[in-house]
Amino acid sequence: MKQINLDYLSANPLLPEVQEAMIKAIQANYGNPSSPHQLGDLSAEALTKARESMARLINSPSPEEIVFTSGGTESINQAIKGVALANVKKGNHIVTSNIEHNAVLRTLRRLRMMDYKVTSVAVNSDGLIDPTAVAQAITDQTILVTVMHSNNEIGTIQPIEEIVRITRQKKIPFHCDAVTSVGVVPVDVQKLGVDLLSFSANQFYGPSGVGGLYIRSGTVLWPLLDGGVQENNKRAGTENLIGIIGLGAAADLAVRDMEARITHCLHLKKKLIQGLKETIDGIFINGHPELSLPNLVSVSIKYIEGEGIVLMLDEEKILVSTRSACAAGALQASHVLLAIGREFADAQGTLVITFGQETTEADLERFLGVLKTVVQTLRDMSPLYKK
């Protein structure tokens, strides 16, 4: 039985070209990019090349504005804590949305333990944030606004440009968690106008454990890691060169193939939503109908719970995620689904189906067939379901 991966969100598969680039990088036996000898120079060149590739992907005017990190979580922690600590004398207030990823939520929760204040702006039932509500939340103590580009559970894409227009005017730094968007949909840091933007390679067919932070030059923030002068003195520690080379290769492919990938995914998404509606009664499709990621479908299935669905689909070699993949160990109902108005129990029966360029229509057809049986089996067991 062929494995059908509909859990690209947890980690994209490594494309063959990316694998090849990384294997070559391992075989090249690189040294430390900071060393002044020949091997160091060779390594520094490889690092620069990857940085340039990444800069092209997000249209950063200067590659030096990109700092490589261990992934989206570190980038987000760096951006938020870095700005908060550097601006402690200016103010202690941060504005965010109520559907951010845990990397943002828990970073802010940590800062609240240190007397920072956080205002969380509520989204509407499509998961969209209202820029005027952000403007109203800003006080003279506000030192940072952080809003995600697209949501990892429901896919809704936020009006970042409009929000940035407000923060620019008030001269407040803006951080965008663009982990689920970069490499998937066009993200142009100049057009968006953001000061900080987090991304992760495993969302665009690159390796896990590597990502980065775009830092507009002139943005004041403290490094999270102190030590050597790597990454333009913004992130100490010898670089994960093999991972970064993989990221660079994946960025090149994303620049080349993004349009084709979007077309392919949008077609699959349309088919999938239509198929879900035809196959299973008592479902909700979550997220904004248009302003949304092309590679993600979030569906709440009434009367049953998501983990059971995931385990039963797994028996048929079909991989999906329930709520945020990172929440698989946690048991709370998704704050995102509650924020868009889903009932507690319905939030529990929510699948996040994510796919990519290798996914076929036949994969989705088999998924729908198996899902139908699984849903019926679990509903027959559920005290909430009445035929």
DSSP for residue 48: H
Q: What is the DSSP string of 5-40?
A: E-BTTT-PPPPHHHHHHHHHHHHTT---TT-SSHHH
* 60 or 298: CB nearest other proteins: 298
Give the one residue of 26, 114, 220, 330 binding other proteins; rule: CB under 8 A.
330
Give the one residue of 29, 113, 140, 289 binding other proteins; rule: CB under 8 A.
113
Is 326 marked active-site? yes
The candidate with the shortest Cα–Cα distance to 156, out of 99, 196, 212, 230, is: 99
Q: Say if residues 192 and 161 touch (Cβ distance below 8 Å).
A: yes
Query: Site residues for other proteins, window 71-110 (CB under 8 A)?
Result: 106, 109-110
| From 105, 326, 328, 368, the catalytic residue | 326
Q: Which stretch binds other proteins (CB under 8 A): 35-43, 119-127, 147-155, 379-387?
A: 379-387
* 156 or 350: CB nearest other proteins: 350
Query: Site residues for other proteins, window 123-182 (CB under 8 A)?
Result: none
Measured from the CB of residue 314, what is the shortest distance to other proteins in angstroms?
10
* 2 or 344: CB nearest other proteins: 344
The residue to which tokens 């995620």 are assigned: 321
- Which positions from 298 to 327 touch other proteins by CB under 8 A, shown as an x/- string? -----xxxxxx--xx--x------------
The candidate with the shortest Cα–Cα distance to 192, out of 150, 222, 162, is: 162
The residue to which tokens 């440009």 are assigned: 161
Residues near 41 by beta carbon (within 8 Å), at least 6 away in sequence: none
* Secondary structure E strands in the chain: 4-5, 66-69, 93-97, 117-121, 142-148, 174-177, 196-200, 211-215, 283-286, 296-301, 318-319, 321-322, 350-354
Q: Is 284 in the site for other proteins (CB under 8 A)?
A: no
Q: Is 116 in the site for other proteins (CB under 8 A)?
A: no
* 1 or 331: CB nearest other proteins: 331
Give the one residue of 27, 29, 344, 387 binding other proteins; rule: CB under 8 A.
344
The candidate with the shortest Cα–Cα distance to 160, out of 150, 170, 171, is: 150
Give the one residue of 332, 360, 373, 376 binding other proteins; rule: CB under 8 A.
332
Measured from the CB of residue 104, what is the shortest distance to other proteins in angstroms?
14
Give the one residue of 188, 259, 278, 380 binding other proteins; rule: CB under 8 A.
380
Question: How many chain residues touch other proteins (CB under 8 A)?
Answer: 27
Q: Say if residues 245 and 25 touch (Cβ distance below 8 Å).
A: yes
Task: Work out the end-to-end distance of the chain between its first and last CA atoms, rounded to an integer number of angstroms.
Answer: 33
* 361 or 380: CB nearest other proteins: 380
Write out the two tokens for 250: 């994946």
Q: Is 331 in the site for other proteins (CB under 8 A)?
A: yes
Write out the two tokens for 186: 């066009």
Q: Which stretch binds other proteins (CB under 8 A): 29-37, 197-205, 274-282, 376-384?
A: 376-384
What is the C-alpha to C-alpha distance for residues 225 and 78, in angstroms, rounded to an integer? 9
Active centre residues (catalytic): 326
Residues forming the site for other proteins (CB under 8 A): 106, 109-110, 113, 303-308, 311-312, 315, 329-333, 344-345, 348-349, 380-384
